Amino acid sequence: MKKHLYLIGFMGAGKSTVGKLLAETLNVAFVDLDSVIEREQQSTIGEIFQQKGASFFRQLETDAIHNISQEKPAVIALGGGAIQSENNLKVIKESGILIYLNVSLLTLINRLKNDRLNRPIIAQIPHEELNAFIENLLSERVGQYKKADLFVPNESKEPIKVVESIVKDLVKLNF
């Protein structure tokens, strides 16, 4: 593999699950960018947001993307907000293929409503406002997500099927 494969998509889109399996299938390393940041900072993403704020986290995220872009090719799961920065998007596109895991709003809401506490962006949102919040944030972000090189639905299929379809698409792209 000559370039990285980056996975983007909203929280709950399945980036880490699909990413791990894709890396295994291609026999390359898997990197979860949030885990890299947590390891370097010796704190959780939740703690970083709480103690240092969102823009501090975004700077760490940008630094981590710059660093990883120069490493040996790997499958990299990005955080859901990682390509809101045009500069991050540019670094990503220059160093790899960007794969968008596309999941419907309803599925995202169902996946996220029981998994809020580990996700600082939605942890504080009152239950009754969660659907509207996710809908708004997704619509703000979808324009950036659509700049990906590959679109992959990840609705309800088994992760291995999703991986197989990514691999087929990569072959078509001569990757």
Query: Which residues in this chain contact ligand S3P in the complex, by CB under 6 A?
Result: 11, 15, 34, 45, 79-81, 119-121
Q: Which is nearer to ligand S3P, 79 or 96 (CB)?
A: 79
Phi, psi for 88 (deg, rounded to 5) = -60, -45
| Exposure class string for 57-73: b at 16+ Cβ within 10 A, else e | bbebbeebbeebbeeee
Q: Which is nearer to ligand S3P, 136 or 173 (CB)?
A: 136
Q: Which is nearer to ligand S3P, 12 or 96 (CB)?
A: 12
E strand map for the chain = 4-8, 30-32, 75-77, 96-102, 150-153
Minimum separation from the CB atom of position 171 to ligand S3P (A): 27
Minimum separation from the CB atom of position 32 to ligand S3P (A): 8
Find the residue with minimal CB distance to ligand S3P.
Answer: 79
Q: Which is nearer to ligand S3P, 27 or 55 (CB)?
A: 55
Minimum separation from the CB atom of position 83 to ligand S3P (A): 10
Minimum separation from the CB atom of position 4 to ligand S3P (A): 17
Cβ neighbors of 129 (< 8 A, separation 6 or more) are: none
Give the torsion sign (CA, 30, 31, 34, 39): positive
